[in-house]
Structure 1
Amino acid sequence: MPRSFAVVLLSLCLFTVTFAVNLQAPLYSAYTAESAMGATAVTVAFAAYVAGLMPTLMLLGGLSDKIGRRIPIIIALILGGIGTLALVVAPGWVSLVVARFVLGVGTGLATTAGTAYMAEIMGERQVKRAALFVTSATTLGFGGGALLTGISLSLQGLTFFPSSFALLFAAVPVLVILALRLPRCDKPKAVSLLRLPVFPSRTWPYGAAMGVAWSATGMTIAVVPLELQVHGLGNWTGLVIFLAIFVGFLCQPLARRLSNPTALGLGFFLVPAGYVALLAGSWSQSILLVLVGAAVTSAASYGFSYLAALSEFSVRAPENRARATAGLFVYAYVGFSIPVIASGILADRYGLLQAMGFFGSALLISTLIVVWAWLRPFPR
């Protein structure tokens, strides 16, 4: 298989796996309507995603080193289809929790194996370019699923089998068959199946930046749509989630031209700035400010911070790239999940807007602490 075709095919596989992750997001309120748990119902679904993803990252991040890169990616594609099928067969909160767990496992398998695989296909001299392909494919996937479901619902009306789901079901078997033809350019190692993540030396600022940035994205995806629903703006959910991710994709070519420290510093500035706009929009019921805030945080979360961090982790661990990617995503998903879960609990007690305000304060403090520690000179 020509290298260029292999790169495109692997990118499509990574796109499809992440496409399934937020595919159901515009239907959250419909799935949780039967539950009496309020905002906590959505955050429990987020917790289920992390419950599937974190053990995969922690224990199976290096699985592809043992069994090859293709098998984890194929498994991830199948899991994406199974999780989505569960929501069609038995739509509801319980199915949402099950689906999110399965999708978490798939995401963990695909991102670790896919990052290492892309670098192997493209060659060691193009590690940063390979990271760009991975971030671009996954960013478009995370954002595209929610947007396409939102468009489908606007055309079809409320349904638990929107056209976006049908598209995924059609794509998965085709990609599984094609993925079997991907080149075997990796060399499986005689290592344990269970392998812990690797955290390369001096990469913690990049991991912390991912955690801070993705915490804002998690709030945008999980909590902000609930606030929009309260004010009758629920039909904007798909676009908000799409912008919260897609603008980062648009920023990635610029991020690639910057040094990793420069891109990291820009990300640190953009995250709190964007969240302030998003919070102001939620408070004033201004959808324009919400969209602007989602876009600005996206520039950091999936643009400058994401590419800089993935590139830095990949460069500093050439012999353990899959496990280093797992280490990076441990940072990212701790930030992505814990604030959302805490905010859901606070929202049921104090209100959605108040919970978003609490998170905004924590976000600003966390950003300042990480930047201070990053810029602090090492003792001689």
Structure 2
Amino acid sequence: MPRFLFAPLLALCLFTVTFAVNLQAPLYEAYAAGSNLGATAVTVAFAAYAAGLMPALLLLGGLSDRIGRRIPVALALVLGCAATALLVVAPGWSSLVAARFLLGAGTALATTAGTAWMTEILGNNRARTAALTVTSATSLGFGGGALATGVSLAVQGSTLVPASYAALLAAAPVLAALVFALPRTGRPQPVSLLRLPVFPSGTWVYGAAMALAWSATGMTIAVVPLQLAAHGLGGWTGLVIFLAIFAGFLCQPIARRLTNRQALAAGFVLVPLGFLVLLGGVWLQALPLVLAGTCITSAASYGFTYLASLAEVSVRAPDDRARATAGLFVYAYCGFSLPVIASGALADLLGLLPALAIFAAAQMAAAVMIAGAWRRRPGPSALAFDAG
């Protein structure tokens, strides 16, 4: 395989792994309908995703250092394929929970191995370009899956086997085989098979910012669609989830021109602002405000915060990138899943809108406290993204 295809093929693999993650999101309501658990059904599915992801991040974040990068990425593609096939063969809430567990494990394997591998392919002197490539591929994947299913449902009508599922089932096995055409970029290290994440010194605020930003994304993906459906706007779910991530991808070239600290500061402002706009749209049943708020939070989460954080930990842990990436995603996925689970329980007690309002207030308070602590203890990094 020509060398110039190595990075694009790896990016396509990472895109496909994350494409599978939110592929089923527009059908959450249909899967949950038979569970008799209300909003809690969706949040339990999110808990299953975290249950698959967190042990893999905590114990297997450095697995690729021991066995190489190929197998974890190929396995992640296989897990995404298996999860989607399960929903085709036995659609329902219990299958959704099992599928989300598999998808969580796959995401952990792919993002940790893939980030380190991309840097090795492009060269250590282009670590931040590698981070940009990974964030772009995964951002498009996380958002593209939901949009693809939304478009499929709009064209096909109501179905539990949309064309987007068929596309994933066709592509993932082929890519899993092609992974082994990518180069071995280093010798496997004689380290323990089970390796804990590492948290590079001075990066705590980047992890906390990721948790804060991705909490907004988790709420947008899991809870907001339920409120949209309650107002007869369920057909817009795929677009809302797509915008919740894709707008951030569009902002990454802007973020790349900033230092990591400047990008992080922008994220602290935009995350709570965007969710307040989104909340206003849900309250007023104004779809333009929902879409605008979604785009603002996306710009913060997947544009400024995600790119700055991944670049920062990659630069600060050049000899342990896979485990440092795992550490960052521990923060991120705690934020992504735990507030959603709590809000789902609150929604069944108080209603969806009050639960969203309580989350918005808690998010704003957390942003102020984290940003305040960060300003009192500024870190040494003021690195801009490289132009290469």
Post-superposition CA distance 1:33-87 (Å, at most 9, x none): 0011100000000000000000000000000000000100000000000000100
Q: Name the residue aligned to 1:170.
A: 170
Q: TM-score, normalised by structure 1?
A: 0.99
Q: How do 1:282-297 and structure 2 match up within 5 A? A: 282-297=282-297
**How far is the alpha carbon of 1:2 from its aligned partner?**
3.1
- For residues 256 and 239 of structure 1, the distance between their equivalents in structure 2, rounded to whole angstroms, comes to 26
The answer as to whether partners of 1:6 and 1:182 remain within 8 angstroms in 2 is: yes
1:161 is matched with which residue? 161
Stretch of structure 1 that moved more, 210-219 or 169-178: 169-178
Query: 1:57–1:330: 8 Å Cα contact kept in structure 2?
Result: yes
Q: Give 2:386's aligned residue.
A: none
Tell me which residue corresponds to 1:253.
253
The offset of 1:173, in angstroms, is 1.6
TM-superposed CA distance for 1:283, in Å, is 0.1
Counterparts in 2 of 1:1-380, with a 5 A limit?
Answer: 1-377=1-377
Q: Residue 200 of structure 1 aligns to which amino acid in structure 2?
A: P
Per-residue CA deviation, residues 276-295 of structure 1 (Å, 9 max, x unaligned), is 10000000000100000000
The amino acid of 2:315's aligned partner reads: V
Q: What is the aligned residue count?
A: 379
CA contact (8 A) 1:117 1:186 kept: no
Conserved? CA contact 1:69–1:186, under 8 Å: no
Aligned partner of residue 180 in structure 1, secondary structure: helix
Report the Cα offset of residue 169 of structure 1: 0.8
Bigger mean CA offset, 130-139 vs 186-195: 186-195
Paired residue secondary structure (2:168): helix
Contact 1:346 1:355 in 2 (8 A): yes
Using the TM superposition, give the Cα deviation of residue 187 of structure 1 relative to its aligned residue in structure 2, in angstroms: 2.1
Question: 1:229 offset after TM fit, Å?
Answer: 0.4
Rounded to whole Å, the distance in 2 between the matches of 1:378 and 1:237 is 39
Q: Distance in 2 between matches of 1:276 and 1:237?
A: 18
For residues 23 and 378 of structure 2, the distance between their equivalents in structure 1, rounded to whole angstroms, comes to: 44
Segments of structure 1 that go 5 or more residues without pairing to the other structure are none
Deviations 1:280-333 (A, max 9, x none): 000000010000000000001111000000000000001110000000000000
Shift of 1:378: 6.9
Decide whether the 8 Å contact of 1:247 with 1:295 is kept in 2. yes
Shift of 1:178: 1.1
Q: Structure 1: how far apart are the matches of 2:187 and 2:256?
A: 28
Residue pair 1:3, 1:121 contacting (<8 A) in 2 also: no
Amino acid at match of 2:42: V
Q: Partner letter of residue 110 of structure 1?
A: A
The two structures have a TM-score, normalised by structure 2, of: 0.97
Question: 1: CA distance between counterparts of 2:346 and 2:31?
Answer: 21
In structure 2, C-alpha distance between the alignment counterparts of 1:64 and 1:153, rounded to whole Å: 38
Which stretch shifts more, 108-117 or 186-195? 186-195
**How far apart, in 2, do the equivalents of 1:106 and 1:143 lie?**
17
CA contact (8 A) 1:255 1:307 kept: yes
Distance 2:331 2:378 in 1: 22
Quote the sequence identity (%): 68
CA RMSD of the aligned region, Å?
0.9
Paired AA for residue 137 in structure 2? A
Q: Is the 8 A contact 1:214 1:332 kept in 2?
A: yes
2:147 and 2:377 map into 1 onto residues whose CA distance is: 44
> Given the superposition, is the C-alpha separation of residues 266 and 47 from structure 1 closer, same or farther in structure 2, using an over 3 Å criterion?
same
1:231 partner letter: H
Unaligned residue ranges in structure 2 (runs of 5+): 380-388
Amino acid at match of 1:314: S
Helix, strand or coil at the partner of 2:14: helix
Give the letter for the 2:325 counterpart: T
Change in 2 beyond 3 A, CA 1:96/1:247: same
Provide the C-alpha distance between the structure 2 equivalents of 1:14 and 1:140, rounded to a whole number of angstroms.
Answer: 10
- Quote how far apart the aligned CAs of 1:186 are: 2.4
